[in-house]
């Protein structure tokens, strides 16, 4: 390991209502792989975005190569030698590999783009990385793994001194991960500084030299990878104060009937052979890290995405669900993690959103009974304490928490018995959060059943009667609330991937 090439000191960043980074410090040395870890929303991505100029920092300093710097765009950062390899790839599918690598800075020969030189340079880059990709192949025809290699090649071609990998292995196969590690080791030996963001505990052990952990926008500490155990890292990640007391025991009667049974559900590589049961009046928590396949599972059950195989039983009866229409008919409601995109129609009023799922109950023939519609909406506004001047307010004028209540209203108006809540409190302030919790408890007391997907450990432990943990598209554990601990859940969620 060499001298420190990049140092971030006391970085502070706030967004309206959120203190995203609280005086965080972080450094990278030449020739090391430095892991950055933390739960979802711990501030890793925000920190990297501040570094690469996507966000501006409120205070603190960044010292790179001995000079204090501040970038205003990823391009500036790139030119200086800090490159980020994104989780979502920024590629242009219809161009070839070489064309992608050199886009925006093509070598020219008169009017003509010097494709020959581009291809040769790409080949040289790939040789340096010891990978075999044909630079003349179309980007969209490569596997995700190879596309990622191209991103890395592009990063190196910028003469990068620091490369940030943002969850690079999320979409890769084991063989591809091995190739990736070979490349990273190679880059390390060439004295580059590497930041490696990942959730996979065993990868961290295999590839990194040091591990820094963040939690809730603060810096927790740094460990030398060789000297620490997986448990050490997990303890640092989850060691937060639990504000709310976890549920002590399940509130569901032992003999409660099963309302939803899913058997051997398969949908793409994110949903592999998922089976579980949901009991009447239960809150079934789905825990796991980002990209574990929880949302995909929910969408497949709900019919929003096609599934390859699997059976779904409702109240013991087998049902065919091939579209959201079928799911809603069978009494399933889905509250999406991305409220604005999939939950509400923001340009429409609360009333219009509330009855969207069951308009047929509020029509005489084809004509909407506006009085009845208003009545039911206002009843729920009152019951749920939705804060709005009136029921014909546009949803875009409501706060996040109240928008969420509108989505819940939609499913309650439909009188769905099975509710899938995907990150129900994401982006919602503390007050509204506890209201939503109260509401969920009231719903289960009424006999409704809830599947709750959440990335927040607090939420999972506080709300669930039973917890299912997923990792890499597979179910890795089912834990009764009486036995659940943060450590146990995190252990299941970060199952060993690389032997």
Partner 1 sequence: MDKIKQNPIVKKLGFNRIVLVAVMLVMYFAFCALVPGFFGSAHILGALNYVYFLGFLSLGVTFVIATGGIDFSIGPVMFCCALISGYTLMKFGVPMILCLIFSVLIGFCFGLWNGYLVAYWTVPPFIVSMASMNIAKGLAAVYTKTQSVSWPRSTDPNGWFRNLVMLGKIPMGLIIFLVAAAICSFVLNNTKFGRYILCLGSNREAVRLSGVNTKKWEMFAYVMCGLLVGIAAIFFVGVYTTVQPGYGDQYNNEAIAGCVMGGTSMVGGLASIGGTVIGVLIISLLQEGILALKMTKDVQLIITGIIVIVAVYADVSARRRKN
Partner 2 sequence: MKKLFKEQKFIVLIVAIVLYVIFALLSKEFRRYTTIIQMLDFAYYVVLMAIGVTFPLITGGVDLSIGTGMICYALVGGFMIRNYHWPVVLAMLLSVLFGLVIGILNGTLVSVMGLPPFLATLCTCMITRGLGTLLVNKQAVPWPTNKVPEGWFHSIFKLTIGRATKIPTGLIPIAIIVIIMMFVLNHTRVGRYTIAIGSNREATRLSGVNVRIYHIAAYAICGLFAGLASIAYAAATPTVQPGTGAGLELDAIGAAIVGGVSAAGGVGSIEGTVIGVLFIQILKIGLPFIGLEANWQQIILGLILIGAVLVDVIKKRKEAAL
Task: Give the residue with the Cβ less far from partner 1, 366 or 499.
Answer: 366
Strand arrangement, sheet containing 59-64: 18-29, 4-15, 59-64, 67-68
| Helix 144-157 / helix 174-189 crossing angle, nearest 10 deg | 10
Cβ atoms 261, 312 nearer than 8 A: yes
Which of 1, 60, 63, 74 contacts partner 2 by CB under 8 A?
74
* Residue 124 binds partner 2, judged by CB under 8 A: no
Sign of the dihedral through C-alpha 38, 44, 45, 46: positive
Smallest gap from residue 139 Cβ to partner 2 (A): 9
Closer Cβ to partner 1, 37 or 412, answer by number: 412
Q: Do 370 and 455 form a contact (C-beta atoms < 8 A)? A: no
Assess 115 for contact with partner 2 (CB under 8 A).
Answer: yes
- For partner 1, the closer CB: 150 or 314: 314
DSSP state of 128: H
When binding is defined by CB under 8 A, the residue of 8, 344, 406, 451 that contacts partner 1 is 344
What DSSP letter does each residue of 445-476 carry, written as one string?
HTT-EEEEE-S-HHHHHHH-SEEEEEETTEEE
Distance CA 160, CA 193 (A): 9
| Part in contact with partner 1 (CB under 8 A); list of ranges 96-104, 339-347, 451-459, 476-484 | 339-347
Q: Does 105 bind partner 2 (CB under 8 A)?
A: yes
Q: Which residues pair with 492 in a beta bridge?
A: none
Is residue 91 part of the contact set for partner 2 (CB under 8 A)? Answer: yes
Question: Measured between alpha carbons, how far is residue 230 from residues 36, 41, 499 in Å?
Answer: 14, 20, 14
Q: Could you tell me the smallest distance in angstroms from the CB atom of residue 342 to partner 1?
A: 5
Applying CB under 8 A, among 324, 456, 458, 478 the residue interacting with partner 1 is 324
Q: Does residue number 57 form part of the binding site for partner 1 (CB under 8 A)?
A: no
Which of the stretches 84-92, 111-119, 308-316, 344-352 binds partner 1 when contact is defined by CB under 8 A? 344-352
Closer residue to partner 2, CB minimum distance, 75 or 132? 75
Which residues between 343 and 402 bind partner 2 (CB under 8 A)? none
- Regarding beta strands 210-215 and 218-224, do their DSSP bridges make them parallel or antiparallel, or are they unpaired? antiparallel
Find the part of the chain contacting partner 1 (CB under 8 A) among 142-150, 308-316, 342-350, 454-462: 342-350
**Among partner 1, partner 2, none, what does residue 93 contact (CB within 5–8 Å per kind)?**
partner 2
38 contacts 47 by C-beta, under 8 angstroms:
no
Which two structure tokens, joined as six digits, stand for 496?
A: 């060993």
DSSP one-letter code for 283 = E
Alpha-carbon Rg for the chain in angstroms: 25
Give the binding site for partner 2 (CB under 8 A). Answer: 74-75, 90-95, 99, 103-106, 108, 111-113, 115
């Amino acid at each position: 390991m060499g001298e420190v090439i990049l140092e971030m000191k006391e970085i502070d960043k706030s967004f309206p209502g959120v203190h995203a980074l609280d005086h965080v410090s972080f450094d990278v040395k030449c020739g090391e792989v430095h892991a950055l870890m933390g739960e979802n929303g711990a501030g890793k991505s925000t920190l990297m975005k501040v570094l690469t100029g996507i966000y501006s920092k409120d205070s603190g300093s960044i010292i790179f190569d001995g000079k204090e710097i501040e970038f205003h765009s990823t391009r500036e950062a790139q030119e200086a030698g800090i490159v980020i390899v994104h989780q979502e790839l920024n590629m242009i599918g219809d161009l070839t590999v070489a064309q992608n690598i050199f886009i925006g800075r093509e070598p020219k020969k008169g009017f003509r783009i010097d494709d020959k030189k581009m291809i040769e340079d790409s080949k040289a880059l790939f040789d340096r990385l010891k990978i075999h990709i044909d630079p003349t192949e179309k980007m969209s025809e490569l596997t995700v793994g190879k596309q990622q290699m191209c991103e890395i090649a592009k990063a190196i071609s910028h003469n990068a001194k620091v490369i940030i990998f943002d969850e690079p292995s999320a979409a890769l196969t084991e063989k591809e991960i091995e190739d990736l590690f070979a490349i990273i080791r190679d880059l390390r030996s060439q004295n580059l500084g590497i930041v490696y963001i990942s959730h996979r505990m065993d990868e961290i052990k295999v590839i990194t030299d040091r591990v820094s952990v963040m939690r809730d926008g603060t810096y927790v500490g740094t460990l030398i990878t060789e000297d620490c155990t997986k448990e050490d890292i997990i303890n640092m990640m989850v060691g937060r104060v639990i504000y709310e007391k976890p549920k002590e025991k399940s509130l569901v009667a032992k003999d409660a009937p099963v309302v939803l049974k899913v058997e051997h559900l398969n949908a793409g590589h994110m949903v592999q052979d998922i089976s579980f049961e949901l009991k009447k009046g239960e809150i079934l928590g789905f825990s796991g890290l980002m990209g574990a396949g929880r949302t995909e599972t929910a969408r497949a059950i709900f019919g929003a995405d096609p599934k390859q195989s699997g059976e779904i039983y409702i109240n013991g009866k087998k049902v065919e669900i091939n579209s959201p229409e079928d799911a809603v008919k069978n009494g399933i409601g889905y509250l999406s993690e991305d409220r604005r995109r999939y939950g509400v129609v923001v340009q429409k009023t609360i009333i219009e959103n509330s009855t969207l799922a069951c308009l047929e109950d509020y029509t005489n023939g084809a004509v909407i009974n506006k009085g009845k519609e208003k009545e039911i909406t206002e009843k729920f506004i009152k019951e749920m304490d939705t804060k709005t001047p009136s029921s014909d307010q546009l949803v875009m004028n409501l706060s996040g928490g109240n928008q969420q209540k509108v989505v819940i209203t939609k499913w309650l108006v439909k009188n769905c018995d099975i509710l899938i809540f995907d990150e129900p409190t994401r982006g919602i302030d503390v007050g509204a959060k506890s209201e939503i919790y109260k509401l969920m408890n009231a719903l289960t007391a009424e006999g409704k059943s809830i599947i709750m997907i959440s990335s927040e450990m607090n939420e999972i432990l506080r709300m669930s009667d039973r917890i299912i943990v997923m990792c890499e598209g597979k179910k890795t554990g089912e834990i009764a609330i009486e036995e659940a601990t943060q450590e146990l859940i995190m252990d299941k969620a970060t199952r060993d991937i690389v032997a």
